[in-house]
Structure 1
């Protein structure tokens, strides 16, 4: 019997890296309002574990759900999608 990976994964932008081994990731979703039909942008911030303090503000990253690591931290950064480049 094979094991299936059922962990949720999200894509978001790092908005803060001021904590040790933790980054704050902003995830934006587009949802359709059930009554009006208008498409809305909904955003939420997640605290994610960054073991080596390698991600900086503005990086686009994948985060994956894991066991609770702290009171507000139960996500882990899995990989870098796009490095932030200052203009």
Structure 2
């Protein structure tokens, strides 16, 4: 598994490793932060039916490029703040 690096607005290098998720931007009101809604399907253990699970994840958006409703890809990094552990890739 190769590690990639990217630079943020503050010219700090952040190592990209871990999960890569795709979702839709729900909010872009915070400075340098977006909220991404990630949906996935899991099989219910008792019923056996597939259920849609959604989770909202805060991600770092260095240039405030993503807008509400955009489909984006985020990748896990080391914690940037208390709530942010993901960074915007596309």
> What TM-score do the two structures reach when normalised by structure 1?
0.84
Over aligned residue pairs, what C-alpha RMSD do you find? 1.1
Residues 35-87 of structure 1: CA deviation (Å, up to 9, x unaligned): 111110000000000000010000000000001111000100101xxxxxxxx
Shift of 1:4: 3.0
> What TM-score do the two structures reach when normalised by structure 2?
0.81
In the alignment, which residue of structure 2 is the partner of 1:33? 44
Which structure 2 residue ranges, 5 or more long, are not aligned?
4-16
- Structure with the larger strand share: 1
Q: Which runs of 4+ in 1 moved over 4 A?
A: none
Pairs aligned (count): 77
SS at match of 2:62: coil
